[in-house]
């Protein structure tokens, strides 16, 4: 679940054992320190494990005295980076209301709100103001840009450059290079629209090109055909 | 096993009508009940055990123990050779009856926990050699989770607790501890190897579903079936904690699109789908929730008449009503009416037609309705941690519910502008951003964000991480033009032809049978 980090490193020794712990013995207060260390490892190595983080939030729910708000903040930032997966909401369901009222969490909730409602301009403005909270997690900006592109590519076949610029918070030469990169690697194309502005063309997928989806629905599952084979035969 | 608590003294402290209750008095019907039940269990007559468990226990309760507990286990033990396991089973029924008809005291809650621990430990050690009816095994797990939920609610109401109660709570802090509850359920799942059994069954290497979980080769069904039902128990506990994602993972081994052991007991069928549907609703997997609610509501409609005499009838009706409320909420967020069957749809319109229209207006009244239906239909969320007994005593039993409600309404609010979009998309096949913006009385920039929000919100991520669309009306944007794509459900020609083939075959077979005189 969540986005593939393009610079994801292979799982370390520690992450392998923690994943095992989470799947084999999750309801165990003793693994709490391991899970906390694992959050920090996810942050520094730019990897992500939603299962392990949910497990930790659950343990915090069982023993609120052991909760570390710093760790929770990191989990939430990582969850934001996993959009469009609903991980951020999943985390909020497990965090007590009074904790969510703290300033840094209120900010993160506002940021999530902007992203959920595609208000990218407001998002980047607020993110700039909250740099001190966000900079602890490397890769944040790229992850959100990936989400922004995802939303654009399921909505648009052709998107004006200005919309792309606002969504990704890049402009000018940097944006040119960005677009070049995706033309080479992601199948994008460009053309000019009537106002001589640039249009970016996304590759067709089942969401921005619904014809692609329809063909799947006409098929009949094999099991149903086997019902009538004796009759036909 | 814990010594017999002085039930009668706790009883009178609680002030109910059982001041005449003598735990040692064993009426003849009870004596004959335990003697027969004991024999049936030893002889593994599952059908008879089921009859006694469902019917006899109920009728004796109604006649003698309407508002008093059954005789204490010590009083009946002599009639059943003091059999350790039978006594544990008797006590399980004893406590369940108490919870249903009376109000348990704190000491009784703790004793019931002890009994479950003993019972599960016996089962986990693999020394049980009985075959018990699925109904009973389901009730054990269901009641175990229910008593846990009840305890958390009870413990969170700190305001009027006496010194004595607080002292007891501190002393017995292991009773109904959330770790304990989860670990017992998990242990039953693991020790029974039920997940592997279900896997191997798919490849024809095991028989489980085909025999409804019963063991016809002289063994016991208890551990396996308890393990199976514990998966559903885990789903329920995780929903109570607000962890919907993990809850759904716990029942992944069960294929809910097919019949299975979970459908062999109506209570387990309904509980499974209710929580499955609810979890999917909270994860924004609206289409999946609608499908499953639709199926179960149709099933209940067709079969509830057969359960009128059963002790579960009231519960069935209650859950039925709650699921209609949940379906109304889900359809208001994601109007995929085509997924709802005729009968269910007409019931739904009768109960919630008006409210659904108002909910789709997304004004203040609408939010009040979402609040009302959610609150009526949601599980009884719990705070799993023990209170700090130092702090001033307040009631915090509503905290968990308030958080889930708040987050749900927050999600509803984020989807506020989407119903306006739908109205226009249903009318136009193409429309420019400028025109649509003016109709919706927003600027173009805002409209673009609304359109992207619609696309994002109407998608969800399924359990395999795949992105799934919940969209009824689809569209895409080409620079500054919106192109609407009507999602006509494709004419199911294949399906139609197949049904006609089968039908014709049936007619021809019938004709063949007619002999001309």
DSSP per position, B113-177:
HHHHHHHHHHHHTT-------HHHHHHHHHHHHHHHHHHHHHHHB-TT--HHHHHHHHHTTTTT-
Q: How confident is the model at residue A230 (pLDDT cuts 50, 70, 90)?
A: confident
**Which residue among B384, B457, B467 sits closest to A61, beta carbon to beta carbon?**
B384
Task: Let me know the angle formed at the C-alpha of B93 by B25 and B184, rounded to the nearest 5 degrees.
Answer: 140
Contact B282 A93 (CB under 8 A): yes
Which parts of chain B sit beneath pLDDT 70? 1-19, 487-493, 495, 515-517
Asked whether the bond before A58 is cis by omega within 30 degrees of 0, the reply is no
Predicted ipTM? 0.87
For B187, the token pair is 């242990």
User: Chain B interface, mutation test: which of A3, A85, A93, A161, most B Cβ atoms within 10 Å?
Assistant: A93
CB contacts, 8 Å: B186 with chain A:
26-27
Cα separation, B379 vs A171, in Å, equals 49
pLDDT at A220 (0 to 100):
60
For the four alpha carbons of B144, B16, B168 and B150, in that order, the dihedral sign comes to positive
Residue B283: the pLDDT is: 94
Question: With contacts defined as CB-CB under 8 Å, which chain B residues touch A228?
Answer: 498, 501-502
Contact B76, B165 (CB under 8 A): no
Distance of CA B327 to the CA centre of its chain: 15
Neighbours of B198 (CB within 10 A): 19
Q: What percent of chain A has pLDDT over 70?
A: 85
**B241 in contact with chain A, both atoms CB, cutoff 8 A:** yes
Closest CA relative to residue B161, chosen from B326, B511, B396, B453: B396
Q: Is B10 within 8 Å of B105 (Cβ atoms)?
A: yes
Instruction: Find the CB nearest A228 among B406, B457, B501.
Output: B501
pLDDT classification of A214: cutoffs 50, 70, 90: low
CA distance B353 to B351: 6
The predicted pLDDT at position B155 comes to 93
Task: Tell me if B245 and A58 make a contact (CB, 8 A cut-off).
Answer: no
Please give the distance of CA B337 from its chain centroid, rounded to a whole number. Answer: 24
Closest by Cα among A16, A80, A97, A93 to A43: A80
Say whether pLDDT at A12 is over 70.
no
B494 CB within 8 Å of a chain A CB:
yes
- Two tokens at A84? 């469009």
How high is the pLDDT of residue A1?
Answer: 40
Bridging pattern class, strands A189-192 and A198-201: antiparallel
Q: Which residues of A touch B406 (CB under 8 A)?
A: 97
- In the predicted structure, residue A16 carries a pLDDT above the cut 50: yes
Chain A residues close to B452, C-beta within 8 Å: 118, 151-152, 155
Interface test with A, best of B286, B288, B476 (most A CBs within 10 A): B476
A27's CB contacts (< 8 A; 6+ apart) are B178, B179, B182, B183, B186
Cβ(B10)–Cβ(B94) below 8 Å: no
Q: At what angle do helices B444-457 and B418-425 cross, to 10 degrees?
A: 90
User: Is B457–A116 a contact, with Cβ atoms under 8 angstroms apart?
Assistant: yes
Round to whole Å and give the CA distance between B222 and B201.
Answer: 18
| pLDDT at residue B487, as a whole number | 62
Q: In the Cβ-directed half-sphere of A137, how many Cα atoms lie within 13 Å? A: 29
Contact call for A58 and B403, based on CB within 8 A: no
Chain centre to alpha carbon of residue A138:
14
Does residue B451 belong to the interface with chain A, where contact is any CB pair within 8 Å? yes
Residues of A in contact with B250 (CB under 8 A): none
Residue B159, φ and ψ in degrees, nearest 5:
-55, -45
pLDDT at B392: 78
Of the candidates A211, A188, A209, A206, which has an alpha carbon nearest to the alpha carbon of residue A198?
A188
Cross-chain residue pair A231–B244, CB shorter than 8 Å:
no
CA–CA distance, A163 with B449 (Å, rounded to integer): 10
Question: For chains A and B, what is the number of CB pairs under 8 angstroms?
Answer: 142
- Find which of B156, B249, B408, B479 to mutate to test the A interface (most A CBs within 10 Å of its CB): B479
B360-395 tens-digit pLDDT: 888 889 999 999 999 999 999 999 998 888 777 888
What residues of B are in contact with residue A94 (Cβ under 8 Å)? 241-243
Measured CA to CA, the distance from residue A164 to residue B335 in angstroms comes to 31
- Please check whether residue B434 touches A, CB under 8 A: no
Does B465 touch chain A if contact means CB atoms closer than 8 Å? yes
Cβ contacts of B111 within 8 Å, gap of 6 or more: B2, B5, B95
Bridge partners of B395?
B157
Interchain pair A120, B449: CB under 8 A: yes
Residues B327 and B373 sit within 8 Å (Cβ to Cβ): no
What was the pLDDT predicted at A13?
A: 65
From chain A, the residues in CB contact with B241 under 8 A are 58, 61, 94
Work out the minimum CA distance from A62 to partner chain B, whole angstroms: 5
Cα dihedral across residues A180, A183, A188, A189: positive or negative: positive
First vs last Cα of chain A: how many Å apart? 45
* A89/B407 touch (CB, cutoff 8 Å), yes or no: yes
Q: Helices B266-282 & B222-241, crossing angle to 10 degrees?
A: 30
Q: What's the mean pLDDT when you consider all of chain A? A: 87
Decide if B498 and A210 are in contact by the 8 Å CB cutoff.
Answer: no
Decide if pLDDT at A47 tops 90.
yes
Chain A positions in Cβ-Cβ contact with residue B467 (cut-off 8 Å): 84, 207
Q: Where are the alpha helices (DSSP H) in A82-195?
A: 87-92, 97-100, 103-116, 120-129, 131-134, 140-155, 161-168, 172-186
DSSP B370-385: HHHHHHHHS------S
Q: What is the pLDDT of residues B38-51, one digit of tens each?
A: 999 999 999 999 99
Residues in B closer than 8 angstroms to A191, CB to CB, are none
Task: Measure B127 CA to nearest chain A CA, in Å.
Answer: 24
Structure-token match 């193409």, residue found: B430
Count Cα neighbours of B75 within 13 Å in the Cβ-side half-sphere: 16
- Print the SS3 string covering B196-244: HHHHHHHCCCCCCHHHCCCCCCCCCCHHHHHHHHHHHHHHHHHHHHCCH
CA distance B237 to A2: 25
Q: How far is A105 from chain B (nearest CA, A)?
A: 14
Spatial contact of A194 and B465, defined as CB atoms under 8 Å apart: no
d(CA B27, CA B453): 68
Given the structure tokens 């794509």, which residue do they identify?
Answer: B485
Residue B151: φ, ψ to 5°:
-65, -45
């Amino acid at each position: 679940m969540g986005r593939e980090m393009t610079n994801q490193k292979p799982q370390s020794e520690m992450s392998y054992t923690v994943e095992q712990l989470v799947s084999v013995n999750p309801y165990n207060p003793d693994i709490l320190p391991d899970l906390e260390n694992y959050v920090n490892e996810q942050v520094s190595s730019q990897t992500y494990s939603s299962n392990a983080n949910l497990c930790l939030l659950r343990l915090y729910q069982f023993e609120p005295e052991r909760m570390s708000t710093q760790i929770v903040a990191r989990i939430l930032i990582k969850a934001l980076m996993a959009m469009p997966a609903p991980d951020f909401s999943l985390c909020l369901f497990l965090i007590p209301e009074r904790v969510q009222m703290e300033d840094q969490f209120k900010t993160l909730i506002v940021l999530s709100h902007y992203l959920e409602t595609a208000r990218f301009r407001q998002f980047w403005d607020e993110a700039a103001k909250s740099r001190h909270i966000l900079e602890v997690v490397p890769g944040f900006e790229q992850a959100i840009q990936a989400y922004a592109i995802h939303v654009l590519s399921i909505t648009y076949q052709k998107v004006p450059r200005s919309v792309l610029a606002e969504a990704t918070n890049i402009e000018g030469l940097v944006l040119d290079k960005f677009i070049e990169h995706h033309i080479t690697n992601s199948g994008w194309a460009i053309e000019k629209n009537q106002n001589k502005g640039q249009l970016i063309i996304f590759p067709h997928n089942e969401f921005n090109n619904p014809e692609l989806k329809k063909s799947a629905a006409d098929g009949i599952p094999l099991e149903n055909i086997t019902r009538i084979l004796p009759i036909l035969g | 096993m814990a010594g017999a608590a002085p039930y009668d003294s706790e009883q009178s402290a609680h002030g109910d009508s059982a001041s005449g209750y003598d735990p040692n008095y064993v009426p003849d019907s009870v004596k004959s009940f335990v003697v027969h039940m004991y024999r049936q269990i030893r002889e593994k007559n599952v059908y008879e055990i089921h009859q006694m468990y469902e019917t006899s226990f109920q009728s004796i309760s109604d006649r003698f123990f309407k508002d008093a507990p059954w005789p204490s286990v010590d009083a009946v033990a002599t009639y059943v050779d003091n059999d350790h396991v039978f006594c544990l089973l008797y006590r399980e029924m004893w406590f369940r009856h108490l919870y249903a008809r009376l109000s348990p005291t704190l000491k009784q809650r703790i004793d019931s926990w002890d009994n479950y621990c003993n019972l599960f430990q016996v089962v986990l050690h693999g020394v049980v050699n009985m075959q018990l009816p699925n109904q009973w095994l389901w009730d054990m797990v269901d009641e175990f989770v229910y008593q846990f939920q009840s305890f958390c609610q009870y413990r969170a109401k700190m305001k009027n607790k006496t010194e004595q109660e607080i002292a007891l709570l501190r002393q017995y802090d292991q009773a109904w501890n959330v770790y304990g509850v989860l670990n017992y359920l998990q242990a039953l799942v693991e020790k029974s190897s039920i997940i592997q059994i279900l896997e191997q069954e798919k490849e024809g290497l095991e028989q489980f579903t085909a025999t409804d979980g019963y063991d016809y080769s002289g063994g016991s069904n208890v551990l396996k079936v308890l393990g199976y039902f514990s998966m559903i128990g885990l789903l329920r506990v995780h929903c109570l904690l607000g962890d919907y994602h993990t809850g759904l993972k716990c029942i992944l081994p069960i294929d809910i699109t097919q019949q299975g052991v979970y459908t062999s007991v109506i209570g387990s069928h309904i509980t499974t789908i209710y929580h499955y549907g609810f979890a999917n609703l909270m994860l924004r997997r609206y289409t999946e929730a609608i499908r499953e609610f639709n199926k179960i509501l149709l099933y209940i409609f067709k079969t509830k008449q057969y359960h009128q005499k059963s002790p579960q009838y009231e519960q069935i009706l209650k859950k039925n009503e709650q699921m209609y409320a949940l379906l109304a909420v889900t359809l208001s967020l994601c109007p995929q009416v085509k997924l709802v069957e005729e009968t269910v749809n007409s019931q739904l319109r009768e109960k919630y037609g008006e409210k659904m229209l108002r909910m789709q207006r997304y004004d203040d009244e609408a939010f009040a309705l979402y609040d009302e239906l959610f609150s009526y239909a949601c599980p009884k969320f719990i705070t799993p941690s023990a209170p700090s007994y130092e702090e001033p005593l307040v009631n915090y039993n509503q905290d968990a519910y308030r958080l889930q409600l708040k987050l749900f309404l927050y999600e509803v609010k984020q989807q506020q502008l989407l119903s306006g979009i739908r109205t226009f998309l249903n009318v136009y096949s193409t429309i420019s951003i400028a025109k649509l913006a003016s109709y919706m009385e927003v600027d173009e920039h805002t409209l673009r964000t609304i359109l992207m929000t619609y696309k994002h919100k109407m998608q969800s991520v399924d359990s395999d991480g795949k992105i799934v669309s919940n969209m009824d009306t689809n569209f895409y944007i080409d620079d500054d033009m919106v192109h609407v794509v009507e999602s006509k459900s494709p004419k199911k020609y294949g399906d139609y032809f197949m049904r006609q083939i089968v039908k014709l075959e049936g007619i021809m077979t019938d004709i063949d049978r007619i002999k001309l005189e």
